Amino acid sequence: MPVSRRVAELMKGSSWIRRMFEEGARLKAAHGAENVFDFSLGNPVLEPPPEVVEAFRAALDEPAAGTHRYMPNAGYPKVREAVAEFLTRDYGVPFAADRLLMCTGAGGGLNVVLKSILDPGDEVLVVSPWFPEYQFYVDNHGGRMVAVPAGPGFLPDPAALEAAAGPRTAAVLLNTPNNPTGVVYGQETLDAVGEALRRASARTGRVIHLVSDEPYRRILFDGRRPASVFRAYGPTILVTSHSKDLAIPGERIGVVAIGPDCPDGAALAGAFTFANRVLGFVNAPALQQRAVARLQGLTVDPRIYERKRDLLCGALQAAGYEVVRPGGAFYLFPRAPGGDDLAFVNRLLRERILVVPGSGFGAPGHFRVAYCVEDREIEGAIPGFARCLRDPGA
Ligand SMILES: Cc1ncc(COP(=O)(O)O)c(C=O)c1O
């Protein structure tokens, strides 16, 4: 067997999302893509704003020699300065360019951070439901992911996080706006988590890092303003990317930023730079770095996703689905009628509607709808969603 037992085992565990992908391909071949309603992937439907294409052109046209060569593993100093300046304004705390690493998307950044802070057997607490890749990222670096159920409204439960922390806890990994629930954590929630982690760190005698995964930070609805995790807790590391805010996930560009009050920031920055190199990323893509330096603060229009949320969430609620109304990102996480998410996802498949069962996110009894699709796909799926609720056995 050419594939390691470990990878074979992990691949089996990730089979739900793969299965939906394969089902989607099969249904599209059989019925035509326009007759399949695919809500299985968080791939943004929007094109990047025109400024993005212009910035790529301008970066390509830069006259200086050597622009395609290797660079410092943490990224171009000038780009890191531009990003530090923006993050300082955005989060209301001072960021330094030398505590910042340009990375290959948030996924790359999370792997850099976890490689740098985990010893074998160390634990990372995540709030369930969680983004499925977390379990693999933690496993990549010999860690153990520990799921802590969310409290009401899918918000993190500070007391439960505090209770779950032990001597092996190296980090808590939070994600807001959240995939898969679309829930946004406000400042009060973050402050309560910060308090809980301060107490837990004092008890365990180890600094527990808060790793804040925020690629959806700028996709907020109903006039919400983003909160600042750095104001809530000192030992915080931000991981983010432009996959969703600029709608360029294929370009693989992101940032890791160490908070100004994070102890041993210089040592961490050195470790991140080393990890970025030896994980084989070497440095984040050069052209992308130079382009996004010109684009700090730019975002796709979140009102487009907000309208899609209104359309779908409104229709599902009117049909009788129980769903927490999301405040950002582009996901819904309704309760599966009847409680069996796998059975209900299969029922939706008979309407040619593809979603992902909550079991894939550590939260059985729900399902995830990624509504970053065209309006006509949402409109086309609404009658099928309603039929499934009226007649779950059909
Ligand atoms: C919560 C969360 N974190 C990280 C990522 C990875 O993002 P990137 O494309 O920047 O690697 C995603 C992508 O969907 C995500 O939903």
In tens digits, the chain (394 residues) has pLDDT values of 799 999 988 888 776 777 787 888 889 999 998 899 999 988 889 999 999 999 999 999 987 888 999 999 999 999 999 999 999 999 999 999 999 999 999 999 999 999 999 999 999 999 999 999 999 999 999 999 999 999 999 999 999 999 999 999 999 999 999 999 999 999 999 999 999 999 999 999 999 999 999 999 999 999 999 999 999 999 999 999 999 999 999 999 999 999 999 999 999 999 999 999 999 999 999 999 999 999 999 999 999 999 999 999 999 999 999 999 999 999 999 999 999 999 999 999 999 999 999 999 999 999 999 999 999 999 999 999 999 999 877 7
Residue 53 included in any domain: no
84, 106: one domain: yes
Backbone φ and ψ for 62, nearest 5 degrees, come out as -55, 130
228, 257: one domain: yes
Bridge partners of 146, per DSSP, are 125
310, 263: one domain: no
253, 127: one domain: yes
133, 40: one domain: no
Q: Name all contacts of 76-79 with Cβ < 8 Å and 24+ positions apart.
A: 76/102, 76/286, 76/289, 76/290, 76/293, 78/293, 79/289, 79/290, 79/292, 79/293
The answer, yes or no, to whether any atom of ligand 1 lies below 6 A from the CB of 179, is yes
Instruction: Give yes or no for a cis peptide into 263 (omega within 30° of 0).
Output: no
Question: Could you tell me if 271 and 116 are in contact, meaning their C-beta atoms sit under 8 angstroms apart?
Answer: yes
Question: Could you tell me if 17 and 356 are in contact, meaning their C-beta atoms sit under 8 angstroms apart?
Answer: yes
287, 306: one domain: no
Query: 219: domain range?
Result: 69-293
Sign of the dihedral through C-alpha 64, 67, 72, 74: positive
158, 247: one domain: yes
Question: Could you tell me if 341 and 364 are in contact, meaning their C-beta atoms sit under 8 angstroms apart?
Answer: yes
Domain end residue (candidates: 228, 259, 293) = 293
Look at residues 320, 298, 306 and name the one whose alpha carbon lies nearest to residue 372: 306
Domain end residue (candidates: 252, 272, 293) = 293
Cα of 26 from ligand 1 centre, angstroms: 26
206, 73: one domain: yes
Residue 60 included in any domain: no
Cα of 134 from ligand 1 centre, angstroms: 10
Tokens of 12: 């089996």
Helix residue ranges per DSSP H, 72-169? 77-91, 105-117, 133-140, 158-164
Residue 384 included in any domain: yes
137, 277: one domain: yes
- The single-letter code of the amino acid at 349 is L
Domain end residue (candidates: 239, 274, 293) = 293
- Which atom number of ligand 1 is nearest to the Cα of residue 107? 11
Cα of 106 from ligand 1 centre, angstroms: 6
> What's the rounded Cα separation, in Å, for the pair 30 and 279?
41
Residue 61 included in any domain: no
Residue 165 included in any domain: yes
24, 148: one domain: no
Tokens of 50: 């025109």
Cα of 315 from ligand 1 centre, angstroms: 27
Q: Domain total for the chain?
A: 2
Residue 58 included in any domain: no
Residue 381 included in any domain: yes
Domain containing 133 — which CATH number? 3.40.640.10
Pocket test residue of 103, 111, 131 for ligand 1, highest count of atoms within 8 A of CB: 131
> What's the rounded Cα separation, in Å, for the pair 294 and 52?
9
160, 255: one domain: yes
